Homo-oligomer: A and B are copies of this chain.
């Protein structure tokens, strides 16, 4: 376990979340995990950024309210991650960069605005964890990742492939970001993988195309037999040392764990499985990450928001400098 003393002193130079022993969790700022705003810290190692956009949604809309819901659901996050043995807000500066204001009606324009907006945040932050919004937003974020690092492995947690071609003539929607990204050369085709895919497809061709686009698949139905350890082993072998972009569609979880989403598919992961998988990513070269498709109007008691907030917390933990265990 990491030295609490060392972490505490490291944190002294950092602005950390509001202290819950002085400001009750139901009071205080509406930022993610009650973190400082990026404007207030000037520069962050990791910025949490909202992208409230859902015009690319094909079924239940409402992920436009995802960022504020995930933030509201993140108030219970405490500073120390006991399984990882570190305090993710202490060992790196994390801050909330607010929301990108993008066009709610025209997908192409919004995609440009998201790319520009995220790029501007990256002037003040090392890396981003983006809270969607629908999955359309992964495309501009992968463009940015590519600009920084070249083709990146995509580690994609989702019930769906999201490599469909187009929908009603629109090439960029929440069902297509990884096809577009692969076509644009943003994706490392030797190191990308979907985890948790399940449910019916349009045809057998979907999977053939998907493989050509550079993805392996761990199906949701395989989790019982593989176990978390087996799935993690396959993920880590696939991703290897490539720079990796982690994209989490909250519908990778079973609808029981994440009812508040746009295209739910029964038979998914438990939140216990997802959080354990994410903890296993420590040591990967994570370029950036997103958590998308939280649609609060279908949520209950913040179930979905809590799952997303904790997923972000685990991502922040594995993106943190992993200190040697004392």
Contacts and interface: CB of A to CB of B under 8 A. Distances in A.
A50 interface: yes
A167 B55 CA distance: 15
A218 interface: no
Please classify how large the interface on chain A is, using the bins under 10, 10 to 19, 20 to 34, 35 or more.
Answer: 35 or more
Interface string A224-256: 110111000000000000000000000000111
A24 B104 contact: yes
A38 interface: no
Contacts of A225: 229
A151 interface: no
Interface string A41-80: 0000000001010111011111011011001100111111
Interface in A262-289: 263-268, 270-273, 275-276, 279
A52 B27 contact: yes
B2 A99 contact: no
Given A79-B203, A82-B200, A204-B2, A58 B25 contact: yes
Interface of A: 1-2, 4, 7-8, 20-30, 50, 52, 54-56, 58-62, 64-65, 67-68, 71-72, 75-83, 85, 87, 98-107, 109, 167-170, 173, 199-207, 219-221, 223-225, 227-229, 254-257, 259-260, 263-268, 270-273, 275-276, 279, 297-303, 306-307, 310, 313
